[in-house]
Structure 1
Amino acid sequence: MPFIETEGARIKYHIIGKGKPLIFISGLGMDHKVWLYQVSHFFKKFMVVLFDNRGIGESSYDGKRFSTYTLARDVINLMDSLNIEKANIVGSSLGGMIAQEIAINFPDRVDKLVLSSTTAKLERRTRKGEFFRNLGKIISGEVEILINADPDHPIFNRAINYILQNAYSRDFLIRNKSLAEKLAREYFSKENYYEVLLRQAGAAFRHDTRKRLRSISAETLVMAGTNDRIIPAENGERLAKEIKRSNFVKIEGGTHGLHLERAEDFNKHLEAFLE
């Protein structure tokens, strides 16, 4: 299985297909599997590169605090190891924050940039802040259970259900209940998963590119769903206004997990943008 050693982390990656590099960066707590509908759509035309962020999935790390810039450097180190000079970069949620840092700090490494369900800055008073505060209340006093990964404890079901109900619509969860629960339970049963989740949440809250967005030179597509309960579509709209060469696509009825729940729309807009 392919791994790279980077700054305090061991990153697991996958390459599917041949062609121009297309790198997908996952959101908070998610591993590479969340891009399954994009892999099947794009691997015939692109070299699709998937990986697990440090500490997530099969990637490990040294346990130290990290930032979205640290995570961006992981992507650049992966590109260096694979001899990828330049790539199309797609990021969702936290992955979109990481993608912003790549485009700002390593502009020569980005061909086209795609930011989905993301923001330049999380305000603690907004839905994302409320989401984490409520999740914190659910798991209050149960940190040891989560850190020790006891998937049979009721707290796991409460936490999983809260996350799923905020990230996706009720109809999607009914139609895909087994898949959604399987992925969520798989994530939460990983050793130290909750600890890494807290690290990622901290990185997301510290992320702030508001004063640097205008330095992004890559042609950019920003996508947002009108029913996103975690990061409102207005955040994406503000992103697009600050990035010089950007287009904004608002997907009516779309939730936070656009690339999963609205994969057909997501892929259509992404494909048109990459052509």
Structure 2
Amino acid sequence: MFVRIARKPLQKNRSPRAVPYLDLESHRLHYRIDGDTAASGKPWLMFCNSVGTDLHMWAAQVAALSHQYRLLRYDRRGHGLSSAPPPPYALSDLGHDVIALLDALEIERAHFCGLSIGGLTGQWLAIHAGERLDKLVVCATSAKIGTAESWVARIAAVRENGIGELAAATAERWFTPEFRTAEGGTVREMRDTFAATKVDGYIGCCAALAGADLREEVGRIANPVLAVSGEDDPVCPPADLEGIAVGVHWGRHVSLPGRHMVNVESASAFNAALIEFLDSDW
């Protein structure tokens, strides 16, 4: 595998901080490191975003945890500033992107926190490369999300009408009506990010979701797992997260107010649960 870390200057209307990329054979991954990277004794914590978002979805977590951890965020292939190789993708492709990034940055082990398809990616990593992870946090996810038929239908709809047509309905699945009213600016920003997602990247990830079914394998996960659900999540309800927590060797489940983007809607409670879990003895 060809791996090269590149740095590209940001545009003039943005921060002068260089944009780091990892160049792979078919695409490049944009990533960002926060926290005191010189403090080699601090553990690494990696965040993995959902479909239709970018690494900024973890802003509240970075603000709360950057003093305790070295934080690694990245835009999954086809999202944010990462490029989009031709679809379809498989869940294993997304998992190998994570391993390639850890290898390139010489990170032997890290805690991992992923939401939705990011949580599926975390489960795949714990099953197939568990030695690279310490603790695993899976949020608003399942061992199988939706049905293959529903994702195939979503792909067809995006090819015909584009992504923008899905933005309003997606915001309703992501956030409760109360949050959409109280935090309209946050919701609009995330809806705009969704609408700007590369079509190939979105379709590729939908294909990965169509083929991903880890229900027979989650029992192999030996890493400590915290499963976090949104109490009103219509995509991955609390029962899905409870099932993961019960199915792994060492699992806990916590349910917080909100829908699918529970780390955004219940940021303070989410951060507290994350810190408590990562600081615990298991």
* AA in 2 matched with 1:30: T
The CA deviation string for residues 92-150 of structure 1, in whole angstroms up to 9 with x for no partner, is 0010000011111111100000011100013429xxx76985x67xx95x746627xxx
Does residue 106 in structure 1 map to residue 115 in structure 2?
no
Does residue 220 in structure 1 map to residue 243 in structure 2?
no
Contact 2:151 2:207 in 1 (8 A): no
SS at match of 1:230: coil
Give how far 1:159 is off.
Answer: 2.2
Compute the TM-score of the two structures, normalised by the length of structure 2.
Answer: 0.85
Equivalent residue, structure 2, for 1:231: 236
SS at match of 2:112: strand
- Following the alignment from structure 1 to structure 2, what is the Cα–Cα distance between the partners of residues 257 and 269? 15
* AA in 2 matched with 1:254: G
Contact 2:52 2:193 in 1 (8 A): no
- 1:174-213 equivalences in 2 (<5 Å): 174-190=181-197, 193-213=198-218
Aligned match of 1:11 in 26, 29, 50? 29
Equivalent residue, structure 2, for 1:94: 117
Count of aligned pairs: 256
- Following the alignment from structure 2 to structure 1, what is the Cα–Cα distance between the partners of residues 171 and 217? 32
- Following the alignment from structure 2 to structure 1, what is the Cα–Cα distance between the partners of residues 94 and 227? 20
- Following the alignment from structure 1 to structure 2, what is the Cα–Cα distance between the partners of residues 80 and 116? 25
Equivalent residue, structure 1, for 2:79: 56
- Following the alignment from structure 2 to structure 1, what is the Cα–Cα distance between the partners of residues 251 and 51? 24
* AA in 2 matched with 1:72: G
Contact 2:151 2:210 in 1 (8 A): no
* AA in 2 matched with 1:102: L
Moved over 3 A (4+): 129-133, 142-145
Aligned match of 2:162 in 146, 158, 170? 146
* AA in 1 matched with 2:259: T
Contact 1:15 1:50 in 2 (8 A): yes
Equivalent residue, structure 1, for 2:6: none
Equivalent residue, structure 1, for 2:8: none
* AA in 2 matched with 1:260: V
Contact 2:133 2:223 in 1 (8 A): yes
Question: What percentage of residue pairs aligned between the two structures are identical?
Answer: 26
Equivalent residue, structure 2, for 1:247: 252
Give how far 1:62 is off.
Answer: 2.3
- Following the alignment from structure 1 to structure 2, what is the Cα–Cα distance between the partners of residues 132 and 228? 22
Contact 1:131 1:230 in 2 (8 A): no
Give how far 1:90 is off.
Answer: 0.3
Give how far 1:250 is off.
Answer: 1.9
Gaps of at least 5 residues in structure 1 are 148-155
* AA in 2 matched with 1:23: M
The CA deviation string for residues 57-108 of structure 1, in whole angstroms up to 9 with x for no partner, is 1001321321111111101110011110000000100100000111111111
- Following the alignment from structure 1 to structure 2, what is the Cα–Cα distance between the partners of residues 182 and 226? 23
Gaps of at least 5 residues in structure 2 are 1-18, 37-41
Contact 1:7 1:74 in 2 (8 A): no
- Following the alignment from structure 1 to structure 2, what is the Cα–Cα distance between the partners of residues 111 and 230? 27
The CA deviation string for residues 221-263 of structure 1, in whole angstroms up to 9 with x for no partner, is 1111220011111111111111011111122x33111100011
SS at match of 2:106: coil
Compute the TM-score of the two structures, normalised by the length of structure 1.
Answer: 0.87
Contact 1:29 1:200 in 2 (8 A): no
Equivalent residue, structure 1, for 2:265: 261
Aligned match of 1:164 in 171, 183, 205? 171
Give how far 1:178 is off.
Answer: 2.1
Does residue 273 in structure 1 map to residue 280 in structure 2?
no
SS at match of 1:3: strand
* AA in 2 matched with 1:41: A
Does residue 78 in structure 1 map to residue 101 in structure 2?
yes
- Following the alignment from structure 2 to structure 1, what is the Cα–Cα distance between the partners of residues 126 and 277? 17
